[in-house]
């Protein structure tokens, strides 16, 4: 029984899984990565609106499937809306009367993370 050189070469070994693949496969790692992605994304969104795109991209990248990535991005958008309403404090009661402006805020909070979630379809 002689071993062939091709069988023992490093190129025939299975490729090691990437860190992102491990995060997508293991629920505990995925939960931690999602929490970090949401926290960093919402922190960025408090500074600039592109943070919502980054939050959607980061949240969707840790999702096991592309469809779940879209759901994670929508969840980030809902959390951004809740954070916005909480940051207004007592003034949040007048939001229903500000219809044109609130439509833009809701559309941006849901649409921009969805735009970011397109990263999951690429990577």
* Domain ranges for the chain: 19-122
Q: What is the pTM of this model?
A: 0.78
CA distances from 46 to 28, 41, 54, 116 (A): 27, 9, 12, 16
| pLDDT of res. 17 | 62
> Reduced to 3 states, what is the DSSP secondary structure of residue 115?
helix
Tell me: the pLDDT tens digits for 57-116? Answer: 999 999 999 999 999 999 999 999 999 888 888 888 887 888 888 899 999 999 999 999
Interval 5-20 mean pLDDT: 58
Q: Let me know the angle formed at the C-alpha of 77 by 66 and 21, rounded to the nearest 5 degrees.
A: 30
| pLDDT of res. 12 | 54
The percentage of the chain sitting over the pLDDT mark of 90, rounded to a whole number, equals 59
Helix locations, the chain, DSSP H: 5-8, 19-25, 27-45, 50-61, 66-88, 99-116, 118-122
Q: Residue 59's closest CA among 42, 83, 47?
A: 42
| pLDDT at 11 > cutoff 80 | no
Tell me: the pLDDT tens digits for 23-63? Answer: 989 999 999 999 999 999 999 999 999 999 999 999 999 99
CA distance 66 to 43: 24
């Amino acid at each position: 029984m002689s071993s062939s050189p091709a069988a023992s070469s490093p190129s025939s070994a299975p490729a090691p899984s990437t860190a992102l693949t491990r995060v997508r496969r293991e629920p505990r790692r995925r939960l931690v990565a999602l929490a970090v992605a949401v926290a960093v994304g919402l922190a960025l969104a408090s500074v600039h609106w592109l943070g919502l795109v980054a939050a959607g991209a980061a949240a969707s990248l840790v999702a096991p499937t592309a469809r779940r990535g879209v759901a994670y991005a929508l969840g980030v958008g809902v959390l951004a809306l809740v954070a916005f309403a909480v940051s207004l404090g007592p003034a949040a009661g007048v939001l229903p009367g500000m219809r044109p402006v609130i439509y833009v805020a809701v559309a941006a909070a849901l649409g921009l993370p969805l735009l970011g979630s397109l990263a999951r379809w690429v990577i």
